Amino acid sequence: MEKRSLVTIADHSREKIEYLIQMAEEFERHPNRRLLEGRVVATLFFEPSTRTRLSFETAANRLGARVIGFADPKVTSGTKGETLKDTIMMVSNYADIIVMRHYLEGAARYASEIAPVPIVNAGDGANQHPSQTMLDLYSIYKTQGRLDNLDIFLVGDLKYGRTVHSMLNAMYHFNPTFHFIAPDELAMPEIYKQFCRDHNIRYVEHTDFNADVISGADILYMTRVQRERFTDLMEYERVKDRYLLKLDMLSKARPNMKILHPLPRVNEIEYSIDDDPHAYYFEQARNGLYARQALLCDALGISLDEIRNDKTIIS
Amino acid sequence: MKKQLMVAAIKDGTVIDHIPSNKLFAVVNLLHLDRMTSAVTIGYNLESQELGRKSIIKIADKFFTDEELNQLAVVCPNLTLCIIRDYDVVEKRTVTLPDELHGIVHCTNPKCITNNEPMKTHFHVHGDDRNALKCHYCNTIIKLDKIKLVEIKN
């Protein structure tokens, strides 16, 4: 079996991203199968992340795999001083694939280099979170019918927001136009703007957030402005309410516009928007299940053809 | 004025030429010349047609490993090195920055896996003008003039 770890979406070509989206579509049609029966999936969460872990474990369970692992790093030998390498080598003896969340950046790349089984990165510090990116792309594709030539508006914390940075890396294959809406303190870092210029990706920066600014959006990607990111709390108090999405701001929105959010939300999207047809964040989270089923199968060397001809579907 | 060699010849050892004078002391530190027991001759601010002012170091009875030479390329990308045996230059080589550096430079990101696990660092040369390094693991980009070198254990 070919060993195919997933460390970052940036390793994937346009064709590979489209291939994985087609796989996710198959799983959305039939999520319950015995495709991974007899396999063991390990979920190693060196940093707690209930949402991501439940999504991966559901993906594995609905495909018939058995799941082992830990959700709380306090119960592992890491606290006794065991190296990551030793933990990975030990678990590789038991599992066919390792889904790993780690608080250190680059942990997934390192694990993929030493492990004899595939590693799926479920987030490594502030670095990469490719399964989130994959479900974002799948959500964009599902709601817009395409990934090409879209106007994507990113709002909130664009400085530290790992999901918005991964979005730039993944969407550059698809000729997007980005709009960056953020306070100066949390503006898109220069390195990512340089990335856009190097790849001829158009972008516009805004500090205002209102109905007119977002009227040209196909996708409105909201993120949380977190208090702990600010060195100057006066500045936080000044800007915190400027990036809240209110129902009346959708008055000029395009009919196809969808609101995405990686969740958890605090107050950045008004609750009255939940029932609006533009709201898509809960469906987006459900798409994570299908996207992760696709990522697990791809890492285990199961092809799209095998999934299409799968005889193990449970009605 | 008569042109002449301003630094004495050595019988066996290494001559590092064409060091920009402002990098001389970085090279001295990098190679731990202060701990050297054999004869070291340093010429500082000598005239050079190419560099204006250059520096030169001659180290008797010392031959460097590739690992040590790669370190030199990180601080001075275009050095010339001569290996001397019995007063003759037996090998002349130019040190150039390799595309990848393994175990040479520290990552500046304290949350990088390489600073928390017993493992070698790994960097890729980054940018069109090759004046930065990118961490293979955490993607941190470090300008060449801001790097911190891993100490080579002798």
Q: Among residues A25, A14, A21, which one has the least CA distance to residue A171?
A: A14
Residues A171 and A189 in one domain: yes
**Residues of B with CB below 8 A from A83's CB?**
117-118
User: Is residue B127 assigned to a domain?
Assistant: yes
Return the CATH number at A271: 3.40.50.1370
Q: Kindly state whether residues A178 and A122 are assigned to the same domain.
A: no
Provide Rg for chain A, Cα atoms. Answer: 20
DSSP state of B115: G
Say yes or no: B88 and B105 in one domain: no
Query: Cβ separation of A83 and B114 shorter than 8 Å?
Result: no
A106·B139 Cβ contact <8 A:
yes
ipTM: 0.89
> Whole domain around residue B123: which residue ranges?
100-146
Q: Amino acid identity of A151?
A: D
pTM for this entry: 0.87
Question: Is residue A3 assigned to a domain?
Answer: no
A264 upstream amide cis, omega within 30 of 0: yes
Residue B51 located in a structural domain: yes
Q: Secondary structure of chain A in the HEC alphabet?
A: CCCCCECCHHHCCHHHHHHHHHHHHHHHHCCCECCCCCCEEEEEECCCCHHHHHHHHHHHHHCCCEEEEECCHHHCHHHHCCCHHHHHHHHHCCCCEEEEEECCECHHHHHHHHCCCCEEEEEECCCECHHHHHHHHHHHHHHHCCCCCCEEEEECCCCCCHHHHHHHHHHHHHCCEEEEECCHHHCCCHHHHHHHHHCCCEEEEECCCCCCHHHHCCEEEECCCCHHHCCCHHHHHHHCCCCCECHHHHCCCCCCCEEECCCCCCCCECHHHHHCCCECHHHHHHHHHHHHHHHHHHHCCCCHHHHHCCCCECC
In a domain, A4, yes or no: no
pLDDT (tens digit, 0 to 9) for every residue of chain A, 315 residues total? 456 999 999 889 999 999 999 999 999 999 999 999 999 999 999 999 999 999 999 999 999 999 999 998 877 766 678 899 999 999 999 999 999 999 999 999 999 999 999 999 999 988 899 999 999 999 999 999 999 999 999 999 999 888 999 899 999 999 999 999 999 889 999 989 999 999 999 999 999 999 999 999 999 999 988 887 778 888 888 888 889 999 999 999 999 999 999 998 988 999 999 999 999 999 999 999 999 999 999 999 999 999 999 999 997
Report the relative pairing of strands B40-48 and A258-260 from DSSP bridges: unpaired
Residue A313 lies in a domain: no
Q: Does B47 lie in the same domain as B65?
A: yes
Which of A103, A110, A127 comes nearest B119 by C-beta? Answer: A110
Q: What is the SS3 assignment for B35?
A: helix
Q: What is the CATH number of the domain that holds B138?
A: 2.30.30.20
* Chosen domain end from B55, B77, B95: B95
The answer to whether the CB atoms of B113 and A110 lie below 8 A apart is yes
CB of A83 within 8 Å of any CB in chain B? Answer: yes
Domain identity same for A135 and A274 = yes
**Looking at the domain assignment, is residue A15 inside a domain?**
yes
Same domain, A143 and A279: yes
Supply the range of the domain harboring residue A227: 131-284
Q: Are A119 and A136 part of one and the same domain?
A: no
Q: Is B49 helix (H, G, I), strand (E, B) or coil?
A: coil
Q: Are residues A121 and A227 in the same domain?
A: no
Task: In whole angstroms, give the CA distance from residue A127 to residue A48.
Answer: 16
